């Protein structure tokens, strides 16, 4: 029980903590900076974390009106929610049934189907943005929330299929076999057994699709030409335009947009990691 030994250990631990706290500070600094800007009274930058705090930016943000006196930001929030929820739902429905087929059946083209899904993961949205733009233009869905929903709902489907297939594979087949013995049809099994059993996986996949749509910026910025059809990301970017930069509004908007998704993300993050490596690389 020598004193020197006891002291040596805490020193190392303290050093580790100091380094970690320093790194945490660097990591959190941009976040603090945004919070500071959001709650500061001016539209410009604030130079330090000290100073007065107000809710003005938030109030201004939600009372922005367009030329017809409609509440613009409220409408855009609604656009974002509407688009994200509907496209997440459609994407989930499409992915669930496909994942079930990939998990439970043997059929011709199964392998090539899976590798086709992988290929879609290789080209990001920007690559197909021109064809999509021309397609939406031609079928008259440019400047329409439904055009955006159409595009969003399928972008996450391949990933969702990988996630859900992985989960369905873990559900023992004996349950279904028993149900078949009782005379249940394939579809009844899918609806009444598989879906209720995989509720958590469905929730996480749905949340992921929701977040993808909620965070999407470039497709929305390209396809939506009118302010009243903007989603929140496009509006936030327009606050930081080249001519009049409204940092306070941008920061306030960022806080409101990010908080829910950050919390959601911290919640589903663990489950995503498995899906990412399994789906992203191996087939």
Q: Binders of other proteins among 40-79, rule CB under 8 A?
A: 44-45, 47, 67
**Segment 175 to 204, residues that bind other proteins, using CB under 8 A:** 186, 190
Using the minimum distance from each CB to other proteins, give the nearer residue, 60 or 237: 237
Residue 116: CB minimum distance to other proteins, A: 8
Applying CB under 8 A, among 65, 93, 175, 180 the residue interacting with other proteins is: 93
Distance from C-alpha of 238 to C-alpha of 235, rounded to nearest angstrom: 5
Longest alpha-carbon distance in the chain = 82
37 binds other proteins, rule: CB under 8 A: yes
Q: How near is the Cβ of 108 to other proteins at its closest, in Å?
A: 6
Which residue among 38, 64, 88, 151 contacts other proteins (CB under 8 A)?
151
* Binding mask of the shown chain, residues 209 to 248, with x at each position contacting other proteins by CB under 8 A: -----xx-xx--xx--xxx-----xx-xxx-x--x---x-
Among 56, 89, 97, 197, binds other proteins (CB under 8 A): 97
Q: Smallest distance from the beta carbon of 200 to other proteins, in angstroms?
A: 20
Selected binder of other proteins within 4, 107, 182, 196 (CB under 8 A): 107
Out of 113, 171, 176, 195, the only residue in the binding site for other proteins (CB under 8 A) is 113
Q: Which is nearer to other proteins, 82 or 228 (CB)?
A: 228
Nearer to other proteins, 8 or 262 (CB): 262
Q: Does 157 bind other proteins (CB under 8 A)?
A: yes
Residue among 116, 180, 191, 203 that touches other proteins (CB under 8 A): 116
Give the footprint of other proteins on residues 13-32 (CB under 8 A).
13, 16-17, 19-20, 23-24, 27-31
Contact (CB, 8 A) for 16 and 23: no
Q: Which stretch binds other proteins (CB under 8 A): 53-61, 76-84, 194-202, 261-269?
A: 261-269
Among 38, 161, 201, 202, binds other proteins (CB under 8 A): 161
133 exposure class (CB count in 10 Å sphere: 0-12, 13-18, 19+): middle
Q: Contacts with other proteins: how many residues (CB under 8 A)? A: 96
Annotate the chain with DSSP letters as a single string: --HHHHHHHHHHHHHHHHHHHHHHHHHHHHHHHHHHHHHSSSSS--SSS-S---SHHHHHHHT-B-TT--BHHHHHHHHHHHHHHHHHHHHHHHHHHHHHHHHH---TTHHHHHHHHHHHHHS-GGGGHHHHHHHHHHTT-TT-HHHHHHHHHHHTHHHHHHHHHHHHHHS-HHHHHHHHHTT--HHHHIIIIIHHHTHHHHHHHHHHHHHHHHH--HHHHHH--SGGG--HHHHHHHHT-SSS--HHHHHHHHHHHHHHHHHHHHHHHHHHHHHHHHHHT--
Q: Does 260 bind other proteins (CB under 8 A)?
A: no
Shortest separation between residue 97's beta carbon and other proteins, angstroms: 4
Q: CA-to-CA distance for 137 and 189, rounded, in angstroms?
A: 42
């Amino acid at each position: 029980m020598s004193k020197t030994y006891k002291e040596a250990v805490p020193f190392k631990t303290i050093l580790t903590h100091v380094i970690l706290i320093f790194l945490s500070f660097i990591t959190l600094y941009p976040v603090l900076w945004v919070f500071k800007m959001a709650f500061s009274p001016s539209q410009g930058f604030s130079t330090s974390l000290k100073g007065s705090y107000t809710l003005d930016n938030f109030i201004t943000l939600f009372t922005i009106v367009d030329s017809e006196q409609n509440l613009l930001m409220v409408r855009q929030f609604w656009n974002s929610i509407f688009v994200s929820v509907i496209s997440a739902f459609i994407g989930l429905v499409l992915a669930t049934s496909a994942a079930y087929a990939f998990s439970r059946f043997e059929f011709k083209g199964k392998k090539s189907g899976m590798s086709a899904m992988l290929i879609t993961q290789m080209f990001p949205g920007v690559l197909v943005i021109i064809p999509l733009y021309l397609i939406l233009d031609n079928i008259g869905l440019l400047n329409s929330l439904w055009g955006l929903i159409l595009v969003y709902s399928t972008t996450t489907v391949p990933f969702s299929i990988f996630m859900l297939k992985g989960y369905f594979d873990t559900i023992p087949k004996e349950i279904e076999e028993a149900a078949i013995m009782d005379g249940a049809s394939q579809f009844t099994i899918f609806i009444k057994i598989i879906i209720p059993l995989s509720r958590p996986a469905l929730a996480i996949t749905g949340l992921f699709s929701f977040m993808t749509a909620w965070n999407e910026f470039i497709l929305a910025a390209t396809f939506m030409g009118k302010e009243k059809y903007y989603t929140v990301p496009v509006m936030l970017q327009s606050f930081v335009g080249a001519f009049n930069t409204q940092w306070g509004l941008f920061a306030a908007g960022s806080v409101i947009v990010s908080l829910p998704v950050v919390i959601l993300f911290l919640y589903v993050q663990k489950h995503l990691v498995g899906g990412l490596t399994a789906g992203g690389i191996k087939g």
